[in-house]
Structure 1
Amino acid sequence: VWDVAVERLEQNPPDEALIAKGLSQAEAVLRTLSALKADGPWLLGSQLTLADLHAAPIVGHFVKVAEGRELLARFADISDWYARFADRASFARTEQAG
């Protein structure tokens, strides 16, 4: 995530090889997260937990770039989870303060 978002957003020119490597790693992480996600609206089921609070800002940074949004869209359960989290007023305020 870091290599993709930071390179794309802050480096001029961005290191495309580093971005490609980061996307490969991010895909593996999203695949694992999808496999581990419990039934329910949150990562561990019916209740919001520290897992959600930790992962959401990371995904939030990742989706600031097109490659991140495109990759996340391939994991519907994680994409839905992130959309649900991003709709929370507290998260929206944090993003605005960012």
Structure 2
Amino acid sequence: MRLTLLLLRKKMPKGNIWIGKDRIVPKVDEVTVRGTMKRLQLEEQNMFYLRHPYLTLDQSWGHAGALGKGKALIQKKCEEREKWMKDVAMEERFKTLENNDKWE
């Protein structure tokens, strides 16, 4: 009885059964194969679009300037800077320490 239980027992990996050197590897079925093929086709399509861009380098050069994106970016940065601390001189910082009271 003890010998059959020992022989029929599955050997489990040490630690987490899904990660590491001694993990349980799931069996490959049709669903995983189809999913992998779909991902590979999508990757191939992306690589095709990267190899054959819509615009050439000469056509794409300067298109952002024609759309006014540079001016909009500079305007946005100026607005963000105004929200933060303004440029203040040292005289303005120490103006509160001035004391003009005179003793008689």
TM-score of Structure 1 vs Structure 2, range by shorter chain:
under 0.3
What TM-score does the superposition give when structure 1 sets the normalisation length? Answer: 0.23
> Which has the greater radius of gyration?
2
Does 1 or 2 have the higher relative contact order (CA < 8 Å, sep 6+)?
1
Q: Which structure's residues are more often helix, by fraction?
A: 1
What TM-score does the superposition give when structure 2 sets the normalisation length? Answer: 0.22
